[in-house]
Amino acid sequence: MFDKTITELAAGLRNRDFSSVELTQALLKRIAEFDPRLNSFVTVAEEHALAQARAADERLAAGDASALTGIPVAQKDIFCTDGIRTSCGSKMLDNFVAPYNATVVDRIDAAGAVMIGKSNMDEFAMGSSNETSFYGPARNPWDTERVPGGSSGGSAAAVAACLVPAATGTDTGGSIRQPAALCGITGLKPTYGRVSRYGMIAFASSLDQGGPMARSVEDAAILLGAMAGFDPHDSTSLDKPVPDYRVTLHDDIAGLRIGLPAEYFSEGMDAGVAQSIDAAIDEYRKLGAQVVDVSLPNSHLAVPAYYVVAPAECSSNLSRFDGVRYGYRCENPADLEDMYKRSRGEGFGAEVKRRIMIGTYALSAGYYDAYYLKAQQVRRLISDDFRRAFEHVDVLVGPTTPTPAFRIGEKADDPVSMYLSDIYTIAVNLAGLPGISVPAGFADGLPVGLQIIGNYFDEARLLNVAHRYQQITDWHRQIPPGFE
């Protein structure tokens, strides 16, 4: 059962080939066997999962089932879960048990899915490798000495190793698409505002967006359909109807205009990655798509702009973690100031501290205009580049990452090099656009991701374009050796 897609599992549940309890027990056994090698889970919620599975079986028996009813999924440990620890990968929240569910969790629960556990992640979603997690790094199932990407690395590793058929992730600068690429799965970052951020612990509020991670595009479409929609609890949620993303998955893409940004095919890309991306573009030509050269002239400014905007917003969002209300508190503080200093100093890891300090500096008097305001102006230039490109093409295509997965520890002492691993994904977040990464081959035995970028609220087209590629390739069905 472990290698089946959501669609295949749903058919098996409806046909009574197996029950949700049996499926959940099989995956719990698989997690117990394989996750010690991957560290992809922070919490395995066995009792909770089996209770939800029993309820799902009752719904299935009554004929009241959706496409997700009875399907086990993992929730990234950034989404609050009522009664189950939500750590955000940090010592600061190691003891935090949320008293409510995030909207995303509520909606997936309402669809009848089974939450099997909470997946490992970079601390407060700050990282590109999953190495900043308080619980140790998650590992890439294609080579456990390599990173799975971040910050949603635990979700990506769990799906790639078939520990769960799907998982949630969040994407602030590529944190769904980059680990999806490095682990050889499908990951979709929706349009900003499409998925509620209520109950999703904030990193950078104008950039964060939740989305689905799965082996196939069709599975991602099913999970996105459950996650998306307006939420009155979230002031950034947009009130737009959510289509059934599966309806248009098989639409013909003959005549589709695919833009190739020149800046995404420049120096720095691994030769094996380039070869895989070129081969994927050839497959689209065979499907009748037109390939057009375009330019995003300000894309080289995306990384420096992002690393002003994101730290500035994180310094504001993380100011609430002070040792007073909830989360970690230092032992035996001398006074209130000592409690603040030591609680934050002991509770946050090095990367989080680095970003808080950069962000606080960028927002300080005398520097706001020079840094934060300037970065927001550059952000508008980047958005305008995309707007002009979409006047001539339907989607943009390129690599998700410049290289395959790197070794654990390889970039630990070089944060700038680490930041550059998101060079092709960050601009999408700055502009608020949707993007998807799908498996597109291998370089040196490691997965390569193809990134497809769409216009605002054009997730249906993205899923259609990506699905048509998966219909004529089988990269998304590959399972890492040792996890078959």
Cα–Cα dist 415/132, whole Å: 12
For the chain, the distance separating the N- and C-terminal CA atoms, rounded to the nearest angstrom, is: 11
Residue 403 · residue 274 · CB < 8 Å: no
Angstrom CA distances, 295 to 177, 290, 390, stand at 22, 16, 11
224 contact partners, CB below 8 Å, separation of at least 6: 188, 190, 195, 211, 212, 245, 459, 463
For 220, the token pair is 């991602």
Which residue in 120, 94, 151, 129 sits closest to 347, CA to CA? 94
Which residue in 385, 406, 460 sits closest to 194, CA to CA? 460
Give the dihedral sign, CA 379/201/159/56: negative
Residue 112 · residue 336 · CB < 8 Å: no
For 318, the token pair is 């993380």
Which residue in 299, 281, 279 sits closest to 291, CA to CA? 281
User: Checking phi first, is residue 189 left (phi over 0); if not, alpha (psi -120 to 50) or beta?
Assistant: beta
Helices then strands, counting H and E runs in the chain, come out as 15, 11
DSSP structure class, residue 373 = I
Cα–Cα dist 378/373, whole Å: 9
Q: What angle do CA 456, 425, 130 make, to 5 degrees?
A: 125
Residues identified as active-site: 76, 151, 175
Cα–Cα dist 113/224, whole Å: 13
Cα–Cα dist 356/362, whole Å: 10
Owner of token pair 């420049």: 266
User: Checking phi first, is residue 218 left (phi over 0); if not, alpha (psi -120 to 50) or beta?
Assistant: alpha
Residue 141 · residue 401 · CB < 8 Å: no
